[in-house]
Amino acid sequence: MSELTTLHDAITRIISERMPSVLHVEQFPELGAEVKTPALLYGITDMTLGTDRGEGKTALIGRFQSCILIEADRPKASLQAAILAAQLTTVLKDQFWGLEFVTGPPEQVHAQPEAPTLDLEQFVMWSVQWIQPFEVGELTWPWPNEPPGSLMLGINDDTKDEFFPAGDPP
C-alpha cells in the first residue's frame, strides 16, 4: 500500500470518528455518485518537494482540499456548513494522523464558503484547504560502512582505538 493511500485512509478514519454528524466522508469521490449529507469530500490536489531530512525518503508537501456539503433547504444551512468547516479545522490542529511518515502538522489551514456549480446548486458548500508535509519511499542508511546501531563513544576523539560501543562503558 502506498503512503498516499495510507494517509487518505487515516484521514477518512479520523475525520469520521471526530465528526460523527458528518454522514459521508469520502476521499476522491466519484462524479455523479450519491452521497448522504452532511458530507465531507476531500483529496490531495497537488504536491511539491519538501525539506529533505537526508534519510533517503522523498520529502513532499501535499495540498489537500475538502468540500463540505449541506442541503440548501435545511434551516440555517449556511451556518451548519460553517460550523462543520470550523470543526474540521479543529480536527486538523496538530494532526499527524497517527502515521510515522507524516513529518509535520497541517499548515495554512483555510476555510471559506464556495459558490456551488450548477450540478450542486441544491447544496451549501464550504471548502477547507491545508498543506501537510510527509515522506514517501524507503529509509536508506547513508553510511554503508557502518550498520545501524554501531554508535561508538569516546572520551578522547583523537584516538579511535579508545572508542567503545555505546552499550559497553569503559
- For 70-100, the pLDDT digits (tens) are 999 999 999 999 999 999 999 999 999 999 9
Q: What type of residue sits at position 82?
A: A
Question: Domain for residue 71, yes or no?
Answer: yes
In terms of DSSP bridges, do strands 107-114 and 39-49 run parallel, antiparallel, or are they unpaired? unpaired
Does any domain span residue 151? no
168: phi then psi, degrees, rounded to nearest 5: -120, 85
| CA–CA gap between residue 105 and residue 95 (Å, rounded) | 5
Find out whether the peptide bond into 106 is cis, omega within 30 degrees of 0.
no
Q: pLDDT-based confidence at 159, cuts 50/70/90?
A: low
Q: Is the pLDDT of residue 170 over 60?
A: no
Q: In what order do the strands lie in the sheet with 24-27?
A: 24-27, 39-49, 58-71, 123-136, 107-114
Q: Determine, yes or no, domain membership for 130.
A: yes
| 0.75 surpassed by pTM | yes
**Which is more confident, 150 or 64?**
64
State which residues form the domain around 98.
3-137
For residue 137, give every residue at least 6 positions away whose Cβ sits within 8 Å of its Cβ, in sequence order, or none: 56, 57, 58
Q: Give a yes or no: residue 162 inside a domain.
A: no
Please report where in the chains the cell 513532499 appears, as a residue.
60
In a domain, 123, yes or no: yes
Count of beta carbons in the 10 Å neighbourhood of residue 15: 21
**CATH number of 71's domain:** 3.30.70.1700
Q: Which residue has the higher pLDDT, 2 or 54?
A: 2
| Residue 8 domain-assigned (yes or no) | yes
Structural domain total, the chain = 1
